[in-house]
Structure 1
Amino acid sequence: MSKIVLARVDSRLIHGQVVTKWLQQSAANEIIVVSDELEQDEFLQSIYLMAAPPGVEVIIKGTESVKAYWENEAAAKNSKVLFLVPDLTTLREMVEAGVVKEAIQVGGLGGGPSRKNVVKNINLSEDDVEILEGLLAKNMEVYFQAIPEETPVPIHKLIEKYKTL
Protein backbone atom coordinates (compact mmCIF):
# COMPACT_ATOMS: atom_id res chain seq x y z
CA MET A 1 0.00 0.00 0.00
CA SER A 2 1.38 3.40 -0.97
CA LYS A 3 1.73 5.97 1.77
CA ILE A 4 1.55 9.75 1.59
CA VAL A 5 4.77 10.98 3.21
CA LEU A 6 4.00 14.64 2.51
CA ALA A 7 0.68 16.24 1.57
CA ARG A 8 1.43 19.75 0.29
CA VAL A 9 -0.72 22.62 -0.97
CA ASP A 10 1.29 24.66 -3.45
CA SER A 11 -0.24 26.64 -6.30
CA ARG A 12 2.97 26.10 -8.32
CA LEU A 13 2.78 22.30 -7.91
CA ILE A 14 6.11 20.84 -9.13
CA HIS A 15 8.87 23.46 -9.03
CA GLY A 16 12.47 23.82 -7.90
CA GLN A 17 11.89 23.67 -4.14
CA VAL A 18 9.65 20.64 -4.45
CA VAL A 19 12.14 18.80 -6.65
CA THR A 20 15.34 19.78 -4.84
CA LYS A 21 14.24 19.98 -1.22
CA TRP A 22 10.91 18.34 -0.42
CA LEU A 23 11.50 15.15 -2.38
CA GLN A 24 14.77 14.62 -0.54
CA GLN A 25 13.34 15.64 2.85
CA SER A 26 10.34 13.33 2.52
CA ALA A 27 12.19 10.47 0.77
CA ALA A 28 9.26 10.24 -1.67
CA ASN A 29 9.70 8.15 -4.82
CA GLU A 30 6.40 9.16 -6.41
CA ILE A 31 4.63 12.48 -6.90
CA ILE A 32 0.87 12.59 -7.29
CA VAL A 33 -0.40 15.91 -8.63
CA VAL A 34 -4.13 16.52 -8.33
CA SER A 35 -5.44 19.14 -10.72
CA ASP A 36 -8.53 18.98 -12.93
CA GLU A 37 -7.02 21.64 -15.20
CA LEU A 38 -3.70 19.85 -15.57
CA GLU A 39 -5.39 16.49 -16.18
CA GLN A 40 -6.95 18.00 -19.33
CA ASP A 41 -3.77 19.69 -20.66
CA GLU A 42 -1.29 17.22 -22.19
CA PHE A 43 1.23 19.95 -23.02
CA LEU A 44 1.42 21.22 -19.43
CA GLN A 45 1.55 17.63 -18.19
CA SER A 46 4.65 17.02 -20.29
CA ILE A 47 6.36 20.04 -18.71
CA TYR A 48 5.59 18.81 -15.19
CA LEU A 49 6.74 15.30 -16.05
CA MET A 50 10.08 16.68 -17.29
CA ALA A 51 10.54 18.68 -14.07
CA ALA A 52 10.74 15.55 -11.93
CA PRO A 53 14.13 13.96 -11.33
CA PRO A 54 14.97 10.51 -12.72
CA GLY A 55 13.60 7.66 -10.66
CA VAL A 56 10.61 9.63 -9.39
CA GLU A 57 7.31 8.65 -10.97
CA VAL A 58 4.84 11.49 -11.55
CA ILE A 59 1.12 10.74 -11.65
CA ILE A 60 -1.22 13.55 -12.74
CA LYS A 61 -4.89 13.06 -12.00
CA GLY A 62 -8.04 15.14 -11.57
CA THR A 63 -10.06 15.19 -8.36
CA GLU A 64 -12.32 12.33 -9.45
CA SER A 65 -9.77 10.09 -11.17
CA VAL A 66 -7.28 10.33 -8.30
CA LYS A 67 -9.79 8.74 -5.93
CA ALA A 68 -9.99 5.60 -8.07
CA TYR A 69 -6.24 5.65 -8.61
CA TRP A 70 -5.60 5.86 -4.84
CA GLU A 71 -8.02 3.05 -4.01
CA ASN A 72 -6.81 0.69 -6.73
CA GLU A 73 -3.43 1.29 -8.32
CA ALA A 74 -1.75 3.09 -5.41
CA ALA A 75 -3.07 0.44 -3.03
CA ALA A 76 -1.23 -2.19 -5.10
CA LYS A 77 2.07 -0.30 -4.96
CA ASN A 78 4.46 0.37 -2.13
CA SER A 79 5.35 3.96 -2.97
CA LYS A 80 6.25 6.88 -0.74
CA VAL A 81 4.10 9.66 -2.14
CA LEU A 82 4.55 13.41 -2.24
CA PHE A 83 0.91 14.46 -2.72
CA LEU A 84 0.51 17.89 -4.33
CA VAL A 85 -2.65 19.96 -4.73
CA PRO A 86 -2.82 23.52 -6.09
CA ASP A 87 -5.40 24.95 -3.69
CA LEU A 88 -7.34 24.41 -0.49
CA THR A 89 -10.59 23.54 -2.30
CA THR A 90 -8.89 20.55 -3.91
CA LEU A 91 -7.31 19.64 -0.58
CA ARG A 92 -10.67 19.68 1.18
CA GLU A 93 -12.08 17.32 -1.46
CA MET A 94 -9.14 14.94 -0.96
CA VAL A 95 -9.66 14.98 2.82
CA GLU A 96 -13.41 14.40 2.46
CA ALA A 97 -12.71 11.49 0.09
CA GLY A 98 -10.42 9.93 2.69
CA VAL A 99 -7.33 10.15 0.48
CA VAL A 100 -5.46 12.67 2.64
CA LYS A 101 -5.47 11.80 6.34
CA GLU A 102 -1.97 12.97 7.25
CA ALA A 103 -0.61 16.31 8.35
CA ILE A 104 -0.98 18.98 5.68
CA GLN A 105 1.74 21.39 4.67
CA VAL A 106 0.71 24.66 3.08
CA GLY A 107 3.63 25.89 1.03
CA GLY A 108 2.29 28.43 -1.41
CA LEU A 109 -1.04 30.04 -2.27
CA GLY A 110 -0.90 32.75 -4.91
CA GLY A 111 -2.44 36.19 -4.83
CA GLY A 112 -5.51 37.49 -6.55
CA PRO A 113 -8.71 39.42 -5.96
CA SER A 114 -10.13 39.14 -2.43
CA ARG A 115 -6.93 37.48 -1.18
CA LYS A 116 -4.80 38.88 1.65
CA ASN A 117 -1.09 38.23 2.09
CA VAL A 118 -0.49 36.74 5.56
CA VAL A 119 3.13 35.62 5.11
CA LYS A 120 5.46 35.15 2.17
CA ASN A 121 3.97 32.82 -0.45
CA ILE A 122 0.61 32.63 1.36
CA ASN A 123 -2.40 34.67 0.31
CA LEU A 124 -5.72 33.68 1.86
CA SER A 125 -9.32 34.37 0.94
CA GLU A 126 -12.39 34.06 3.16
CA ASP A 127 -13.12 30.69 1.56
CA ASP A 128 -9.57 29.51 2.33
CA VAL A 129 -9.95 30.49 5.98
CA GLU A 130 -13.25 28.61 6.16
CA ILE A 131 -11.64 25.48 4.68
CA LEU A 132 -8.65 25.71 7.04
CA GLU A 133 -10.88 26.16 10.08
CA GLY A 134 -12.87 23.11 8.96
CA LEU A 135 -9.68 21.03 8.76
CA LEU A 136 -8.59 22.22 12.20
CA ALA A 137 -12.06 21.32 13.55
CA LYS A 138 -11.36 17.75 12.34
CA ASN A 139 -8.18 17.81 14.45
CA MET A 140 -5.96 17.69 11.37
CA GLU A 141 -2.46 19.07 11.66
CA VAL A 142 -2.12 21.93 9.19
CA TYR A 143 0.96 24.13 9.01
CA PHE A 144 2.80 26.56 6.76
CA GLN A 145 6.34 25.77 5.68
CA ALA A 146 7.87 27.04 2.44
CA ILE A 147 11.23 25.24 2.72
CA PRO A 148 12.58 22.52 5.03
CA GLU A 149 15.00 24.92 6.71
CA GLU A 150 12.12 27.02 8.07
CA THR A 151 10.30 26.22 11.26
CA PRO A 152 6.73 25.10 10.54
CA VAL A 153 4.09 27.68 11.55
CA PRO A 154 0.75 26.33 12.81
CA ILE A 155 -1.92 27.48 10.36
CA HIS A 156 -4.13 28.95 13.10
CA LYS A 157 -1.53 31.72 13.49
CA LEU A 158 -1.97 32.69 9.84
CA ILE A 159 -5.76 32.59 10.22
CA GLU A 160 -5.45 34.96 13.19
CA LYS A 161 -3.27 37.30 11.13
CA TYR A 162 -5.75 37.17 8.23
CA LYS A 163 -8.55 38.29 10.53
CA THR A 164 -6.57 41.36 11.65
CA LEU A 165 -5.79 42.56 8.09
Structure 2
Amino acid sequence: MSKIVLTRVDSRLIHGQVVTKWLQQSGANEILVVSDELEQDEFLQSIYLMAAPPGVEVIIKGIESVKGYWKEEAESKKTKVLFLVPDLPTLKAMVEEEIVTEGIQVGGLGGGPNRKNVVKNINLSEEDVAILEALLDRSIHVYFQAIPEENPVPIQKLIEKYKTL
Protein backbone atom coordinates (compact mmCIF):
# COMPACT_ATOMS: atom_id res chain seq x y z
CA MET A 1 0.00 0.00 0.00
CA SER A 2 1.20 3.52 -0.75
CA LYS A 3 2.20 5.59 2.24
CA ILE A 4 2.00 9.35 2.61
CA VAL A 5 5.44 10.42 3.81
CA LEU A 6 4.70 14.16 3.75
CA THR A 7 1.45 16.10 3.52
CA ARG A 8 2.10 19.68 2.47
CA VAL A 9 -0.28 22.60 2.01
CA ASP A 10 1.25 24.97 -0.53
CA SER A 11 -0.68 27.20 -2.91
CA ARG A 12 2.19 26.92 -5.41
CA LEU A 13 1.97 23.10 -5.42
CA ILE A 14 4.98 21.75 -7.36
CA HIS A 15 7.80 24.29 -7.42
CA GLY A 16 11.55 24.47 -6.87
CA GLN A 17 11.58 23.82 -3.11
CA VAL A 18 9.23 20.86 -3.45
CA VAL A 19 11.27 19.32 -6.26
CA THR A 20 14.75 20.01 -4.91
CA LYS A 21 14.30 19.81 -1.15
CA TRP A 22 11.09 18.18 0.06
CA LEU A 23 11.21 15.19 -2.27
CA GLN A 24 14.72 14.37 -1.10
CA GLN A 25 13.99 15.12 2.57
CA SER A 26 10.86 12.96 2.60
CA GLY A 27 12.15 10.14 0.41
CA ALA A 28 9.00 10.32 -1.72
CA ASN A 29 8.96 8.74 -5.16
CA GLU A 30 5.48 9.92 -6.11
CA ILE A 31 3.73 13.29 -5.92
CA LEU A 32 -0.03 13.25 -5.52
CA VAL A 33 -1.58 16.67 -6.12
CA VAL A 34 -5.19 17.21 -5.10
CA SER A 35 -6.72 20.24 -6.78
CA ASP A 36 -10.11 20.54 -8.44
CA GLU A 37 -8.86 23.49 -10.50
CA LEU A 38 -5.74 21.68 -11.73
CA GLU A 39 -7.67 18.50 -12.53
CA GLN A 40 -9.72 20.52 -15.04
CA ASP A 41 -6.76 22.30 -16.70
CA GLU A 42 -4.76 20.02 -19.02
CA PHE A 43 -2.30 22.77 -19.95
CA LEU A 44 -1.35 23.49 -16.32
CA GLN A 45 -1.18 19.75 -15.65
CA SER A 46 1.43 19.38 -18.37
CA ILE A 47 3.55 22.11 -16.75
CA TYR A 48 3.40 20.42 -13.34
CA LEU A 49 4.20 17.03 -14.87
CA MET A 50 7.31 18.49 -16.53
CA ALA A 51 8.43 20.09 -13.25
CA ALA A 52 8.92 16.73 -11.54
CA PRO A 53 12.34 15.12 -11.68
CA PRO A 54 12.89 11.88 -13.64
CA GLY A 55 11.66 8.80 -11.81
CA VAL A 56 9.03 10.66 -9.78
CA GLU A 57 5.48 10.00 -10.88
CA VAL A 58 3.04 12.90 -10.60
CA ILE A 59 -0.65 12.14 -10.18
CA ILE A 60 -3.19 14.96 -10.30
CA LYS A 61 -6.68 14.41 -8.97
CA GLY A 62 -9.60 16.51 -7.79
CA ILE A 63 -11.23 16.13 -4.38
CA GLU A 64 -13.84 13.62 -5.60
CA SER A 65 -11.60 11.59 -7.90
CA VAL A 66 -8.80 11.20 -5.35
CA LYS A 67 -11.14 9.32 -3.01
CA GLY A 68 -11.55 6.42 -5.43
CA TYR A 69 -7.92 6.59 -6.50
CA TRP A 70 -6.64 6.39 -2.92
CA LYS A 71 -8.91 3.50 -1.97
CA GLU A 72 -8.36 1.48 -5.14
CA GLU A 73 -5.15 2.24 -7.01
CA ALA A 74 -2.97 3.46 -4.14
CA GLU A 75 -3.85 0.29 -2.23
CA SER A 76 -2.09 -1.82 -4.86
CA LYS A 77 1.05 0.34 -5.09
CA LYS A 78 4.02 0.52 -2.77
CA THR A 79 5.02 4.14 -3.24
CA LYS A 80 6.13 6.86 -0.86
CA VAL A 81 3.83 9.79 -1.52
CA LEU A 82 4.38 13.52 -1.20
CA PHE A 83 0.76 14.62 -0.84
CA LEU A 84 0.19 18.22 -1.99
CA VAL A 85 -2.91 20.37 -1.64
CA PRO A 86 -3.20 24.05 -2.56
CA ASP A 87 -5.35 25.21 0.35
CA LEU A 88 -6.85 24.35 3.71
CA PRO A 89 -10.42 23.61 2.50
CA THR A 90 -8.97 20.90 0.22
CA LEU A 91 -6.93 19.58 3.13
CA LYS A 92 -10.04 19.52 5.33
CA ALA A 93 -11.80 17.33 2.75
CA MET A 94 -8.84 14.93 2.73
CA VAL A 95 -8.86 14.68 6.53
CA GLU A 96 -12.62 14.09 6.57
CA GLU A 97 -12.12 11.24 4.06
CA GLU A 98 -9.36 9.85 6.33
CA ILE A 99 -6.85 9.97 3.50
CA VAL A 100 -4.71 12.36 5.53
CA THR A 101 -4.55 11.25 9.15
CA GLU A 102 -1.33 12.62 10.60
CA GLY A 103 1.36 15.34 10.41
CA ILE A 104 0.53 18.26 8.15
CA GLN A 105 3.10 20.77 6.96
CA VAL A 106 1.87 24.20 5.93
CA GLY A 107 4.41 25.70 3.56
CA GLY A 108 2.68 28.46 1.64
CA LEU A 109 -0.73 30.09 1.52
CA GLY A 110 -1.07 33.08 -0.79
CA GLY A 111 -2.58 36.45 -0.08
CA GLY A 112 -5.91 37.86 -1.14
CA PRO A 113 -9.02 39.54 0.19
CA ASN A 114 -9.77 38.90 3.87
CA ARG A 115 -6.37 37.24 4.39
CA LYS A 116 -3.77 38.36 6.93
CA ASN A 117 -0.05 37.73 6.61
CA VAL A 118 1.19 35.92 9.72
CA VAL A 119 4.68 34.86 8.59
CA LYS A 120 6.67 34.67 5.34
CA ASN A 121 4.50 32.80 2.84
CA ILE A 122 1.50 32.28 5.10
CA ASN A 123 -1.65 34.36 4.77
CA LEU A 124 -4.67 33.16 6.73
CA SER A 125 -8.39 33.86 6.55
CA GLU A 126 -11.00 33.28 9.24
CA GLU A 127 -12.01 30.06 7.45
CA ASP A 128 -8.38 28.89 7.45
CA VAL A 129 -8.07 29.50 11.19
CA ALA A 130 -11.29 27.56 11.84
CA ILE A 131 -9.97 24.62 9.78
CA LEU A 132 -6.60 24.67 11.54
CA GLU A 133 -8.25 24.77 14.98
CA ALA A 134 -10.48 21.83 14.01
CA LEU A 135 -7.39 19.85 12.96
CA LEU A 136 -5.72 20.62 16.28
CA ASP A 137 -8.91 19.53 18.08
CA ARG A 138 -8.50 16.17 16.31
CA SER A 139 -4.95 15.98 17.74
CA ILE A 140 -3.39 16.20 14.27
CA HIS A 141 0.12 17.65 14.35
CA VAL A 142 0.12 20.77 12.13
CA TYR A 143 3.16 22.98 11.66
CA PHE A 144 4.62 25.65 9.40
CA GLN A 145 7.91 24.97 7.64
CA ALA A 146 8.94 26.65 4.39
CA ILE A 147 12.22 24.78 3.84
CA PRO A 148 13.87 21.78 5.53
CA GLU A 149 16.66 23.94 6.96
CA GLU A 150 14.17 25.89 9.08
CA ASN A 151 12.77 24.61 12.34
CA PRO A 152 9.09 23.70 12.21
CA VAL A 153 6.82 26.26 13.92
CA PRO A 154 3.70 24.94 15.67
CA ILE A 155 0.64 26.23 13.83
CA GLN A 156 -0.81 27.42 17.15
CA LYS A 157 1.72 30.27 17.10
CA LEU A 158 0.49 31.44 13.70
CA ILE A 159 -3.14 31.23 14.83
CA GLU A 160 -2.30 33.34 17.89
CA LYS A 161 -0.55 35.91 15.69
CA TYR A 162 -3.54 35.99 13.31
CA LYS A 163 -5.86 36.81 16.21
CA THR A 164 -3.70 39.79 17.26
CA LEU A 165 -3.60 41.38 13.78
- What is the alpha-carbon root mean square deviation over aligned residues? 0.3
CA distance in 2, matches of 1:103, 1:133: 14
Aligned position for 1:49:
49
Segments of structure 1 that go 5 or more residues without pairing to the other structure are none
Aligned position for 1:138:
138
CA distance in 2, matches of 1:38, 1:153: 29
Aligned to 1:75, what secondary structure does the other structure show? helix
Letter in 1 for 2:138: K
Structure 1 residue 73 corresponds to structure 2 residue 37? no
Asked if the contact 1:111/1:123 (under 8 Å) is kept, the reply is: yes
Spell out, residue by residue over 1:75-120, the C-alpha distance to the aligned partner (whole angstroms, 9 max, x if none). 1000000000000000000000010012000000000010000000
Aligned to 1:99, what secondary structure does the other structure show? coil
Structure 2 length-normalised TM: 1.00
Letter in 2 for 1:110: G
After TM superposition, which residue ranges in structure 1, 4 or more long, deviate above 6 angstroms?
A: none
Aligned position for 1:95:
95
Aligned position for 1:115:
115
Letter in 2 for 1:70: W
Structure 1 residue 31 corresponds to structure 2 residue 31? yes
- Aligned residue pairs total 165
CA distance in 1, matches of 2:157, 2:112: 21
CA distance in 2, matches of 1:130, 1:157: 14
CA distance in 2, matches of 1:41, 1:113: 24
Percent identity over paired residues: 82
Asked if the contact 1:143/1:152 (under 8 Å) is kept, the reply is: yes
Structure 1 length-normalised TM: 1.00
Letter in 2 for 1:16: G
